[in-house]
Amino acid sequence: MRIPLNDLKRHHDPLVTEISHAVSRVLERGWYVLGPELESFEAEFAAFCGTRHAVGVANGTDALELALDALGVKPGDEVVTVANAGMYATTAILGAGAMPVYADVGRDSMMMDAGTLRSVLSSRTAAVIVTHLYGRLTDIEELCAVAAQHGVAVIEDCAHAPGAERGGRRSGSWGALGCFSFYPTKNLGAAGDAGAVVTSDAALAARLRALRQYGWRTKYRSEVPGGRNSRLDEMQAAILRVQLPLLEGWNRRRREVAGWYCRALKTSGLLLPHDPTAADYVAHLFVIRSPRRDEIRCRLESAGIATDIHYPVPDYRQESVRGVPSLPKALPETERCAAEVLTLPCFPEMRREEVDEVSDRLLAILA
């Protein structure tokens, strides 16, 4: 595609020397797992999020599952989440042996809100996973208040939203636990798989550290049930440390790109992200909505413009979950999202003329 959805080569080219030095440092040290790079990254990432602890794990899905395990979620428990988020939370919930229960999403926000959460809470709810979709903070204060009234813990899925902030607080710092993916295309991406869980609760952090390594509290002494191997290795930690100081600048650039789109498309009739330059949005994905989504997508692709759909199938409609007893028939707003959303190219290095070209094409298609 002439205009890609993401361009990791453009993203990493200016960092090749620094990343190579970081990787060499690890090779020269000869310490590859749970070493000084991870320890430093965990401290730096916790400081970035405004939490006391960060625990590096193998990927974002493990982060969610380990967070559920750390909270003591057990088979038969219900965990509330949304179904328009790519099966990540669902995979983690099923992995923890619990049952996913889906809250519908708000018409404009496309995310869980206090009303949709309240309507599905039950005496069996053990936790809520709140996804800050596309890089926008949910109404997390309100969601935490509703969950607290029911005595239920909140896990924030911050995979799309590292650094999104409101009132001086950042994603991951409201819930009992905040989960991050550092998949390469994320706003903060590793050169492979990686993830982290942040928390300010020392006991939860200690459980997570045990759970990510066979339930060990100390070497060869497994005390915490449900442990596995899910560690963030030293190479990835070293590479993430090069990039973390650049994340705020990249988030600003993403917002700028989103702002250009919104200005160019404001008369298009498309549903656009509101307030694209606000600090509670880090423009991980720039998503528009239209009932003509499939036609628009087809015509953009023939013009050499890459697009994607995040996400085309609600989790409860996925083949792999058929037979799970807690599934709803259909959630109207979730269904509408699956039918209408379209992701346009958006990355920090995107040039103004590229955004203009995508916007002009779109306006021509819609004329």
Does residue number 131 form part of the binding site for ligand PLP (CB under 6 A)? yes
- Residue 233 in 3-state DSSP? strand
Please tell me whether residue 309 binds ligand PLP under the rule CB under 6 A: no
Shorter beta-carbon distance to ligand PLP: residue 12 or 160 = 160
Give CA–CA dist 196/321, Å, rounded: 26
Pick from 216, 234, 236: which is nearest to 225 by CA? 216
189 is a contact residue toward ligand PLP (CB under 6 A)? no
Measured from each CB, the residue nearest to ligand PLP is 60
Asked whether position 293 contacts ligand PLP by CB under 6 A, the answer is no
- Compute the least distance from the CB of residue 159 to ligand PLP, in Å: 3
- When asked if residue 6 is in the footprint of ligand PLP (CB under 6 A), the reply is no
CA-CA distance, 171 to 203, in Å (whole number)? 20
Query: With respect to ligand PLP, which residue has the nearer C-beta, 170 or 361?
Result: 170
Tell me whether residue 61 or residue 251 sits nearer to ligand PLP (CB atom): 61
Is 195 a residue that touches ligand PLP (CB under 6 A)?
yes
Q: What is the nearest approach in angstroms of ligand PLP to the Cβ of residue 66? A: 12
Q: Which of 23, 345, 351, 3 is nearest to 190 (CA)?
A: 23
Task: Choose, by CB under 6 A, the member of 77, 104, 156, 157 that binds ligand PLP.
Answer: 157
* Per-state percent for the chain, helix, strand, coil, to nearest 5: 40, 15, 40
67-86 residues near ligand PLP, rule: CB under 6 A: 85-86
- Among 41, 45, 48, 88, which residue interacts with ligand PLP (rule: CB under 6 A)? 88
CA distances from 253 to 62, 63, 161, 285, 347 (A): 29, 27, 14, 13, 8
Residue 216, helix vs strand vs coil: strand
Q: In angstroms, rounded to a whole number, what is the distance separating the alpha carbons of residues 246 and 145?
A: 33
Binding segment (CB under 6 A) for ligand PLP, from list 14-22, 107-115, 135-143, 155-163: 155-163
The helix/strand/coil state of 242 is helix
Q: Given the complex with ligand PLP, which of 85 and 144 has the nearer CB atom?
A: 85
Token output for 105 = 């999403």
Q: Cα Rg for the chain, rounded, in angstroms?
A: 20
Total residues in contact with ligand PLP, by rule CB under 6 A: 14
Q: How many residues does the chain have?
A: 367
Name the segment binding ligand PLP (CB under 6 A); options: 56-64, 76-84, 165-173, 258-266.
Answer: 56-64
Using CB under 6 A, which of 183, 206, 216, 253 touches ligand PLP? 183
Residue 61 binding ligand PLP, by CB under 6 A: yes
Give the Cα separation of 232 and 32 in Å (integer).
10
Which segment (10-18, 42-50, 58-66, 93-101) binds ligand PLP by CB under 6 A?
Answer: 58-66
Q: Can residue 233 be called a binding residue for ligand PLP (CB under 6 A)?
A: no
Q: How far is Cα 74 from Cα 285, in angstroms, rounded to an integer?
A: 33
Tokens of 51: 């939490």
* Interaction site with ligand PLP (CB under 6 A): 59-61, 85-86, 88, 131, 157, 159-160, 181, 183, 193, 195
